[in-house]
Structure formats: C-alpha cells, structure tokens
Amino acid sequence: MVQPSEVKYRVISSLKWSAVGRIGAQAVSWVVTLVIVRLLSPGDYGLMASAMVVVGFAMLIHELGIIPALINAKEVHSGLIRQCLGFVILLNVALFGLVYGTASWCGAFFEEASLVPVIQVLAVTLLINAASSVPSALLRRQIDFKSLSIVGMIAGIAGSATSLGMAFTGAGVWALVGGQVVGRIVNTVGVLWVSPERWLPSFRFAGLGSHLRYGATVTGQRLLSHLNSQADVIIIGKLLGTTQLGVYFVAVQVSFLPISKLVPLLNLVAFPAFSRLQEDAELAGNYFLRAVRIALFITIPMLWGLSAVAHDFVTVIMGPTWTPAIPLLEVIAFAAPVAVAMLMLPPLLNGMGRPDIGLQNAVTSIVVVPTCILIGLQWGLIGASFGFAAGYTILTAINLWRSLGVIRAGLWDFVVTVWPVVCAGALMYGIVKSVDHLLLSGLDPLPKLALLVLTGVAAYGMAALTLCRSIFRDLNAIRQMPKNPDALPVVPPDQSIA
C-alpha cells in the first residue's frame, strides 16, 4: 500500500509543477482571450460554441474510459499498454469519420451552413490526440507532472499566439479553430518527445474487458456531464440563434475563466492521488475538503469581484460590442463558485472506485440544469442566466449530499470547511458595491475599474487574514514542503480543518 506521506509528497510536488505550467500558459491565455474577445463578434463565438458541442462529445468518448482505467489499474504491463494504444487509435479514426460525416446534419440542426467546415476541421484534433493519450496517461499514473506541465505551457502559448495572430488578420471564427488545432499538435508532439518509452500499438484486445467495463461507467458519467454542460448551448443556439448564443457563451466563458484554469489543475493530480488512497476514505476526504477550500479561496474573490465590477469591466476590457453581456456576467460570475466543488467530485469518486455515484450525479445534472434554463429562457438571456445560476446551485447541493458519504463526510462538514471563505468573499463584494455606488458613481470607467479592483484586493485581503488563517497555514506548508516525504506530517482524518 502506498504510504499517505508519499502520496502527499507526490501530490504537492505535482501541484507545484502543474501550477507552474498553468500559470505560465494561462497568464498568456487570459490576456489573449480578452484581446480576442474585442476582435471577434458574438456570432464567431456562437459558431465555435455550437461546433464544440459535437466535437466535445467525441472528445469525451475518444478512449471510452480506457485511459482512466489504465491510470487506476493496480499494475500495468507492456501488453496492456500496447492494447490500450491500439484501441485508442482505432476508436479515434472511427470517431473522426463519424464527426466529419455528420457535420452537415449539425449545420442543418442549428440552421448555420458555415458551421459545417468548422466542425470538419476541428474533427482532425481527434486524430492528433490519439497519439498522445496513452503516453500522457502513463506520466499521470506516476503523478509525475513536470514534463506534462512544461509541454502544456508551451502548447497553450502556441495555441493562444495562433488565435491572436489570426484574429488580427480578420480570420473570425477560424482564429478560434486555428488556436485549437495548433495547441493540440504542439501538445501531442511534446508529450511524445518527453515520454521515456515508445510503444507500438497492438490490435488484439483480449483481456481488455474488465478495463472497458470500468471505463464504460466513467465514460457514461462524462457524456452525461457533457450533455449537462452543453445543454444551454444547444437550447439557446437552437431557439435564439448563434449571435445571442455568442453573447451568452462569452459571459459564461469569462465567468468561468478562473475555474476552468484552476480546477483542471487540481483534478489532473487528484484522480491518480485518490486512486492510491482508496483504502483510507477519511484521509482522502480530509485532502478533498482542503483542496475545495483552497480552490474557493482563490476563485471566490475573482468571481464575486468580477460580478461587482461587471459594467466597468465590459466597457473597458471587452468593448461596446459586448454591452448586452453585462447583466449576464453579473449573475453568472456571482453564481459560478458553487460549481467548483461539483467539478472536483468526479476524480474523487473515480479515484475512490465509485464511478457509479458519479454517473448518478451526471444523470441528475441533465435533468436539473436544462430544466432551470428552459424555465428562465421565457424571460430571454437574462432569465437563462438566472436559470443557469439556480440550476447549478441546486445541482451542487444534491450531488454533494450524495457523494460526501464516500469519504465519510456530510454537507455540514463541507459548510464548516468553506464558510470562512464565503464570509470573506461576501464582505469584499459588499464593500466594492458600496464604494462603487456611494463614492465613485461619477468617475470614468477606466480609473473607476482600477480603484474598485484595488478596493476589492484590500477588502478581501483583510477579511481573509481575519477569517481564513488555516488556509494560509495550508499554503505555507505546501511552500515549505521538505524534500523528504517521510518528514511530512499527515493530518489526522479527525483533525479540524476549518
């Protein structure tokens, strides 16, 4: 059995390298994203969002869960690795043909002929990803993210630079497509370059049955989660058209920027880590709750701050084209933190050997969120944004209630863990809104935005120092982690982490 101290050392070390890679790539990506938003139209983003419904669906089943099964397996051998590689290659060739061939049907569904070539070009990324899936999984299995982080940083910068350059030339939606394709190519080449071994695929699949059965449950969970995450795109794109969809999509994307960059970083490390702690549910639960708390500690001030300054942010950063997104951004950014814990549940449940609960959560998601959005859509895009917020709040509460038993915790444990962060964020939000309305209402947008951001930073800093001291202890412990994993203190499962 892997010692908890060793797992903790690997996780913290991996988080450091993953953080380096993410911060490097995302520092560029965030700036580039906001610049591109000014250069492209809502219709361009609407087309890309519609295309990714189809391509994203294929991406989720591009290995039918065989990669999580490979990471989760107690032992692997060369024969299994070669079988997985052959299986992934064949499956992706088939998926490429399916997506390419059905692109015209998707264009007809959304009543957008220009959507067809976008889907067909993006389908090529399935073939690109096939070559790197297994080598990447083997590196993740070892919780060794140094090379992956460097490759990911380079690929992210390459993709962002491609999109930016094409956007400046007036390429429209193809700027987004080009960035996707180039980023995938660079990532695949990089992963193959840093992988210590080379494998030839085997197309004899005898003995893969048990791995595919595990993977089938994970894949089902992924597909349902994807359907939930894309339900709003499908509904709004079909009923209101790609321009309105573009306004809504960008509001969601900007609101979820911090989450979409931070949570995958934590999840990338979390699944292999929890797979090694399957026999110690309480310790896994201790790590999970602390990870959620740190994620909220980082994302709540960013998202609630964005909600508080949405009007000036859109005016200064995004430009007048995106003025209709202001009320959507205020609502969605404020509600977005509730999704953090829900998005961190899948690696916990899969790693603890309970993908069946994850599947139940995904089934719940495709009922709750689309229903709330459909109800809200009766009042237009602003109603849809309130439906989005209500749906994710209800869904997160249900899924946490169902899932926390796996780690011998309950909703009250979760509330106690995150409550100080929520209070600090609420104080910051209230102070920023008060300063905005009482002191700065007549100021020009640019200096006003700068002053409000500084106010938010100061307010959250003071509140966090008062209410969230245990989080600073966690972060300091990570920073000062000793080289020797045996020297790491393992927090007892029953020790308070609030």
- Residue 497, in any domain of the structure: no
Q: How many domains does the chain have?
A: 1
- Residue 492, in any domain of the structure: no
Residues near 413 by Cβ (< 8 Å), separated by ≥ 6?
A: 289, 404
- Residue 495, in any domain of the structure: no
Q: How far apart are CA 12 and CA 475, in angstroms?
A: 10
- Residue 183, in any domain of the structure: yes
Q: How far apart are CA 96 and CA 124, in angstroms?
A: 7
Structure tokens at 440: 């700065």
**Which whole-number Å values give the CA distances from 78 to 82, 99, 137, 261, in the listed order?**
6, 32, 14, 33
Structure tokens at 418: 């995150």
Length of the chain: 498
**Which whole-number Å values give the CA distances from 430 to 136, 382, 465, in the listed order?**
44, 22, 17
Structure tokens at 256: 């979820």
Structure tokens at 92: 């992706």
The DSSP code sequence of 262-276 is: HHHHHHHHHHHHHHT
324: number of Cβ within 10 Å: 17
- Residue 481, in any domain of the structure: yes
**Terminal-residue alpha carbon distance, the chain:** 29
Q: Output the tens digit of pLDDT for each of the chain's 498 residues.
A: 444 545 555 555 555 555 554 555 556 667 788 889 889 999 999 999 999 988 988 887 776 666 666 666 666 667 777 777 888 888 889 999 999 999 999 999 988 899 999 999 999 999 998 888 878 877 776 665 677 778 888 888 899 899 999 999 999 999 999 999 999 999 999 988 888 777 777 777 666 666 666 666 667 767 777 777 788 888 998 888 888 999 999 999 888 887 876 666 665 555 445 545 555 667 777 778 888 888 899 899 999 999 999 999 999 999 888 999 999 999 999 999 998 888 888 777 877 778 788 888 888 888 898 999 999 999 989 999 999 999 999 999 999 999 888 888 888 888 998 999 999 999 999 999 999 998 888 889 999 999 999 999 999 999 999 988 888 777 776 555 444 443 333 433 333 333
Residue 258, domain extent: 4-487
- Residue 80, in any domain of the structure: yes
Q: 3-state DSSP call for residue 444?
A: coil
- Residue 494, in any domain of the structure: no
- Residue 498, in any domain of the structure: no
Structure tokens at 202: 């085997």
**Which whole-number Å values give the CA distances from 437 to 46, 292, 343, in the listed order?**
34, 33, 34
Nearest to 389, CA basis, from 423, 429, 339, 344: 339
Torsion sign over Cα 400, 406, 411, 413: negative
Cβ–Cβ < 8 Å for 42, 170 = no
